[in-house]
């Protein structure tokens, strides 16, 4: 195929078959339109998409020109409050099929199961891409998307907006400068709960304001049930979300993984419980073992994630003068520990040990602005999908795989992207539904 255009059916069928993108001649990638303004399309308008949309709207060199969402309520609010002159659509495929010349960049802020199909289409069309974490639902999707981003000429950024916050940058500075000495262990947690055994309400017809077929997209069809999936509950469900690990670990584990330049974990083990056939569990403990490096005290660094009803162990909680925050991370080093709350300034313990430490003053960074600046040819993004963004999400999605195999040590070779222990293929990818 030599034409630039890829039909929606051909495009989805290629991804569903596990193939690379069809050979296309991408659109010419432009930094911005003639007046220096980046023309931006928002795919998703409710929930976190509302936050992303307003962040993009606040940028000086950007104009929102298109809004797409399957929910008419979210679309209508976005048009009224954010972009009255925007192109308004229900189906994201129509955005690319009919309006690809109208925009330069796009953000994909929709349920996890639809990230990869939409993001891959954006790359094929030569659109600069801001994709919310955790990048994709399935591990194999993530590798395909990362590879496609690397082959493209576009700017990409993973939606981990807290990465740019001064508090987390200070925490990374402390680890890079070895304020704690070399690092011995890492503990991250969040007491939010996505999942647990749930009984679905009786199915009913979806409201006329919601394109339910479009919401399901490439996932297996499920009947609409009120307050079960949409809005906002889809993370509970194995078909659509990645549980609390996919939601919060991308934020909480970002600082240690980035600061210590950790590669992919070589061993992952979940203490359980396992997800059901439908739901993620309401609690988890997942151990990640990484190869050590210049920042670690040993040849292996253990990072442990706790969520829901599971708490950090006593030797972590008992050493602090105050109650630990509901979400955060503790870095244990040779000289002491650092608490990284979500979101607040890092704290060093024992305090008297670090009384002389002075954190630097940092120039503020805007994660969204960094993306648009890079689109305009000014600098680079810190979490590109073919770089650090992929490296962070690889760890998180490996943890999601291990959650299905509690008590089983999952061995992994990050260089070859292969498991060295047997892992069912059904945990790595799935066929796409045509719709």
Q: List the one residue out of 289, 251, 253 whose CA is nearest residue 269.
A: 289
| 145-149, 196-200, 243-247: segment of lowest average pLDDT | 196-200
Give backbone dihedrals phi and psi of 25, rounded to 5 degrees, phi first.
-95, 105
H-helix or E-strand containing 270?
Answer: strand 267-270
50-69: buried (b, 16+ CB within 10 Å) or exposed (e) per residue? Answer: bebbebbbebeebbbbbbbb
The answer, yes or no, to whether residue 98 has pLDDT greater than 90, is yes
Q: Where are the beta strands (DSSP E) in 194-325?
A: 267-270, 283-291, 300-308
Distance separating alpha carbons of residues 210 and 70, to the nearest angstrom = 6
* pLDDT (0 to 100) of residue 22: 41
pTM: 0.93
Residue 107 binned pLDDT confidence (cut-offs 50, 70, 90): very high
Residue 248 binned pLDDT confidence (cut-offs 50, 70, 90): very high
Fill in the DSSP letter of residue 247: I
* pLDDT (0 to 100) of residue 262: 99
Contacts of 325 (CB under 8 A, 6+ apart): 339, 341, 342, 344
304-318: pLDDT as tens digits:
999 987 877 777 777
- 190 forms beta bridges with 307, 327
22-35: pLDDT as tens digits:
433 355 555 555 56
Average pLDDT over residues 127-148: 98
Give backbone dihedrals phi and psi of 406, rounded to 5 degrees, phi first.
-60, 140
* pLDDT (0 to 100) of residue 12: 53
Per-domain boundaries in the chain? 8-163+369-384, 166-196+231-362+398-427
Under the phi-then-psi rule, with left for phi > 0, alpha for psi from -120 to 50, and beta for the rest, what region is 361? Answer: beta
Fill in the DSSP letter of residue 22: P
Q: List the one residue out of 351, 349, 388 whose CA is nearest residue 367.
A: 388
398: its two tokens: 């490996």
Which architecture, in CATH terms, is 8-163+369-384? 3-Layer(aba) Sandwich (3.40)
Q: Tokens 């795919």 label which residue?
A: 43
| Number of residues that make up the chain | 435
Q: What is the mean pLDDT of the chain?
A: 92
Which architecture, in CATH terms, is 166-196+231-362+398-427? 2-Layer Sandwich (3.30)
Distance separating alpha carbons of residues 282 and 394, to the nearest angstrom = 22
* pLDDT (0 to 100) of residue 425: 97
38-56: pLDDT as tens digits:
999 999 999 999 999 999 9
- 157 forms beta bridges with 130
């Amino acid at each position: 195929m030599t034409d630039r255009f890829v039909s929606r059916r051909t495009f989805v069928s290629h991804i569903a078959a596990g193939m690379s993108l069809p050979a296309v001649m991408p659109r010419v990638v432009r930094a911005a339109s003639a007046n220096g303004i980046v023309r931006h399309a928002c795919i998703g308008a409710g929930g976190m998409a509302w936050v992303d949309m307003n962040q993009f709207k606040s940028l000086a060199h950007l104009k929102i020109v298109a809004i797409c969402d399957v929910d008419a309520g979210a679309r209508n609010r976005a048009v009224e409050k954010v972009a009255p002159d925007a192109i308004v659509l229900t189906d994201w495929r129509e955005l690319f099929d009919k309006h690809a010349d109208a925009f330069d960049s796009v953000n994909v802020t929709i349920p996890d199961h639809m990230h990869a199909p939409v993001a891959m289409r954006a790359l094929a069309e030569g659109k600069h891409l801001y994709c919310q974490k955790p990048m994709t639902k399935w591990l194999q999707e993530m590798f395909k998307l990362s590879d496609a981003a690397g082959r493209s000429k576009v700017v990409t950024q993973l939606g981990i907006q807290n990465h740019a916050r001064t508090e987390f940058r200070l925490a990374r500075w402390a680890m890079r400068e070895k304020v704690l000495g070399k690092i011995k262990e890492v503990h991250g947690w969040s007491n939010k709960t996505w999942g647990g055994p749930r009984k679905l309400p009786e199915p009913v017809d979806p409201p006329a304001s919601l394109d339910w077929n479009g919401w399901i997209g490439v996932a297996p069809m499920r009947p609409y049930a009120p307050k079960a999936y949409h809005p906002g509950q889809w993370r509970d469900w194995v078909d659509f979300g990645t549980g609390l690990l996919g939601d919060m670990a991308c934020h909480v584990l970002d600082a240690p993984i980035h600061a210590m330049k950790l590669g992919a974990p070589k061993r992952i083990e979940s203490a359980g419980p396992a997800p059901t056939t439908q739901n993620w569990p309401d609690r988890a403990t997942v151990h990640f073992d990484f190869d050590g490096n210049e920042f670690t005290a040993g040849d292996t660094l253990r990072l442990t994630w706790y969520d829901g009803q599971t708490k950090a162990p006593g030797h972590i909680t008992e050493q602090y003068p105050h109650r630990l925050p509901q979400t955060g991370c503790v870095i244990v080093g040779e000289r002491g520990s650092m608490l990284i709350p979500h979101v607040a300034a890092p704290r060093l313990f024992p305090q008297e040990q670090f009384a002389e430490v002075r954190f630097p003053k940092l120039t503020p960074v805007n994660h969204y602005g960094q993306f648009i600046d890079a689109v305009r040819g000014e600098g680079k993004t810190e979490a590109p999908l073919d770089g650090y963004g992929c490296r962070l999400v690889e760890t998180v999605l490996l943890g999601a795989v291990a959650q299905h195999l509690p008590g089983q040590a999952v061995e992994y070779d990050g260089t070859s992207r292969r498991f060295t222990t047997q892992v069912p293929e059904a945990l790595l990818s799935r066929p796409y539904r045509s719709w």
